[in-house]
A and B are shown apart, each in its own frame.
Chain A
Amino acid sequence: MSQKEIEVILARQLVSYLALPVFIVDPQGTLLFYNEPAESVLGRRFEETGEMRIDEWSTIFKPTDEDGRPIKPDALPLVIALSERRPAHGRFWIRGLDGVLRHIEVTAVPIIGQAERYLGGIAIFWEVTA
């Protein structure tokens, strides 16, 4: 069994203590972990979803823009952060796996570790209340 990189392990440990919803993916975009606050927004416990490929998580929440138009996966902040290795930000709607439509704001950054190793990405998001 291969072990995750230490930066990713520490990121998971950190976000498991945060009240802010956070989503962590590996360099291929595979979902590695989201924390309990994220479970409330995404509508399902991480233990139930487990690791998820990028083509799955980028569509399963049915992201739509402010006018209700579907957002293509490559326009999502986390996908931009992974593909362009830069921070990205966006505000859009998702439908949680509990069926609830939620307005969210997302900031995503690539994880660049020691020796410039590219290790994946992190998306921090929160529900828009106003």
Chain B
Amino acid sequence: MKVTLWGTRGSLASPGPETARYGGNTSCVEVVGADGTVLVLDAGTGIRRLGVALPDSLRRVDILLTHLHMDHIQGLAFFRPLRTPDVEVHIWGPASTTLSLRARLTRYLSPPLFPVFLREMPSTFLHEIPSDDFEIGEFRISCALVCHPDPTVGYRIATSKAVITYLPDHEPALGARKFPLSRDWTSGYTLAAGVDLLIHDAQYSSQEYTERIGFGHSSLPHAFEFAALAGVKQLVPFHHDPAHNDDDVDRLITETIMSARPSFAVTPGSEGATFELN
């Protein structure tokens, strides 16, 4: 499979010269299978450019939303295939205990927040994520609720050759007096165990985390400790804080690598980066 990062920023789009290397668009990752199946992980502002780059021959695309916070859905209405009648767009995401996925998405995709209704977008199909694994093309997909405010899931996406896990908004250290905890008491562990590539929330420095406990995000050291606990082969720190410029991200990741001395590869998430997993 080929994985491309189209948006790596957390919380708020942050374009500008100071974020040009890691990127200013919010969460969006493209996963393409050997059979041509296209998955889109989250619909942050990065999805707009992805929509333009997709081949005209594509007839189906599946968007897997982790949750419905604005930085993960804000680009949805600007995704070109949603306005292309001969392309089926399947949107998967979590319901809440009281509202369907459609009702929750419609809160954004309707006036006064947006001038176009979701129902006006052709060939769009909504799916509340099932509790069991499901398949899209060659991909076998597992999802599970993870520690983040409001119903939020992570995804584990597998082919016969490679496995990736996507946990862009995740605070597994929440409430832990000493992190990491044991595997069975750690949010997200089953999703991430042993994967080839883990794309994981790494929004804060340790100092920033102490001031934002409960916001639903990880510090860089927590992301590294989670990756080590899960035994991943490669970690992609992701969901960079909008207040961090490129130099900040460089410094924080370098410091964390020096301190943690990880046994896995670390590739900071940057817009446009691609990963070939075979």
Q: Which residues of A contact B (CB under 8 A)?
A: 1-7, 9-10, 12-14, 16-17, 113-115, 117
Contact = CB atoms under 8 A, between A and B. Distances in A.
Given A2-B184, A3-B183, A115 B175 contact: no
A114 to B, nearest CB: 6
B190 A2 contact: yes
B46 interface: no
B175 A10 contact: yes
| Interface hub of A2, A4, A6 (most chain B Cβ within 10 A) | A6
A52 to B, nearest CB: 16
A3 B147 contact: no
Interface string B85-110: 00000000011110000000000000
Contacts of B184: 1-4
A13 B95 contact: no
B158 interface: no
Nearest to B154: A6
Interface of B: 94-97, 131, 144-147, 151, 174-177, 183-190
A6 B146 contact: yes
Contacts of A6: 144-147, 187
Contacts of B187: 3, 6, 9
A5 B183 contact: no
B145 A114 contact: yes
Contacts, number: 47
A7 B185 CA distance: 11
A15 to B, nearest CB: 10
A114 B94 contact: yes
A82 B183 CA distance: 26
B67 to A, nearest CB: 12
A10 B113 CA distance: 33
A9 B94 CA distance: 19
Given A10-B147, A114-B97, A1 B177 contact: no
The 7 tightest CB contacts between A and B, nearest first, are A13-B175, A3-B190, A6-B145, A3-B189, A1-B183, A1-B184, A3-B184
A7 B145 contact: yes
Contacts of A12: 185
Contacts of A3: 183-190
B97 A16 contact: no
Given A2-B184, A114-B95, A114-B97, 17 more contacts: A1-B183, A1-B189, A3-B183, A3-B187, A3-B190, A4-B184, A6-B144, A6-B147, A6-B187, A9-B185, A10-B174, A10-B175, A13-B176, A14-B175, A16-B177, A17-B175, A115-B95
A75 to B, nearest CB: 31
B175 A16 contact: yes
B157 to A, nearest CB: 18
A24 to B, nearest CB: 11
Contacts of B175: 10, 13-14, 16-17
Contacts of B189: 1, 3
B229 to A, nearest CB: 11
A27 to B, nearest CB: 14
Nearest to B146: A6
Nearest to A116: B97
A18 to B, nearest CB: 11
Which among B146, B175, B189 has the highest number of chain A CB atoms within 10 Å? B175
Nearest to B96: A114
29 contacts: A1-B183, A2-B184, A3-B183, A3-B185, A3-B186, A3-B187, A3-B189, A4-B184, A6-B144, A6-B146, A6-B187, A7-B145, A9-B147, A9-B186, A9-B187, A10-B147, A10-B175, A12-B185, A13-B174, A13-B175, A13-B176, A16-B177, A113-B145, A114-B94, A114-B95, A114-B96, A114-B97, A114-B145, A115-B95
